[in-house]
A = this chain, B = another copy of it.
Amino acid sequence: MSEPKIIVLSTGSELTSGRSQDTNSSWIANELFGIGFSVSKFVVLPDDPNVLEEEIGNLAKESTKERPVLMVMTGGLGPTEDDYTLEISCKLAGVTSIESPVARQRIEAFYRLRGKNFEEAMQTSIRQISVPETSIILNNKVGIAPGFILKLGENATLSCMPGVPGEMTEMFREELSPWISKTFSAKELHSGFRFIWWMSESLFQKEFISKEESITNGSVVWGVAAKRGYIRVSFQSGDRKLVDSLLEKLDQVYGAKSTPDIFEELPKILIEQKVTVGTAESCTGGLMAKTFTDRAGSSAYFFGGVVSYDNSIKAGLLGVKQETLDVFGAVSRETAKEMAEGALSSLKTDYTISVTGIAGPGGGTAQKKVGLVYFGIAQKGGTTEIHEHYFPFPRASFREYAAHTGMYLLYDLLKRKG
Contacts and interface: CB of A to CB of B under 8 A. Distances in A.
Oligomeric state, in copies: 2
Nearest to A201: B80
Report which residue of A80, A122, A234 has the largest number of chain B beta carbons within 10 angstroms of its beta carbon: A80
A395 interface: yes
Interface string A281-292: 100111111101
A294 B397 CA distance: 11
A17 B43 contact: no
A394 B166 contact: yes
8 contacts: A8-B16, A17-B39, A18-B25, A80-B202, A286-B307, A290-B290, A303-B309, A317-B347
Interface string A77-91: 011110000000000
Contacts of A276: 310
Contacts of A284: 290
Given A51-B41, A286-B288, A15 B26 contact: yes
Interface in A266-317: 276, 278-279, 281, 284-290, 292-294, 296-299, 302-310, 312-313, 316-317
Contact of A19 (B46, B232, B290, B348): B232
A337 B43 CA distance: 49
Chain A contact residues: helix, strand, loop or mixed:
mixed
A30 interface: yes
A337 B18 CA distance: 40
A142 to B, nearest CB: 9
Given A43-B43, A316-B348, A292 B303 contact: no
A400 B61 CA distance: 42
Nearest to A300: B310
A40 interface: yes
Nearest to A12: B225
A31 interface: yes
A304 B308 CA distance: 5
A244 interface: no
A13 interface: yes
Contacts of A19: 26, 30, 223, 225, 232, 234
Interface string A337-360: 000000000111000000000011
Interface in A162-215: 166, 201-202, 205-206, 209-210
A279 B293 CA distance: 16
A17 B313 CA distance: 44
Contacts of A360: 296
A254 interface: no
A149 B348 CA distance: 59
A166 B80 CA distance: 36
Interface string A375-396: 0000000000000000001111
Contacts of A399: 290
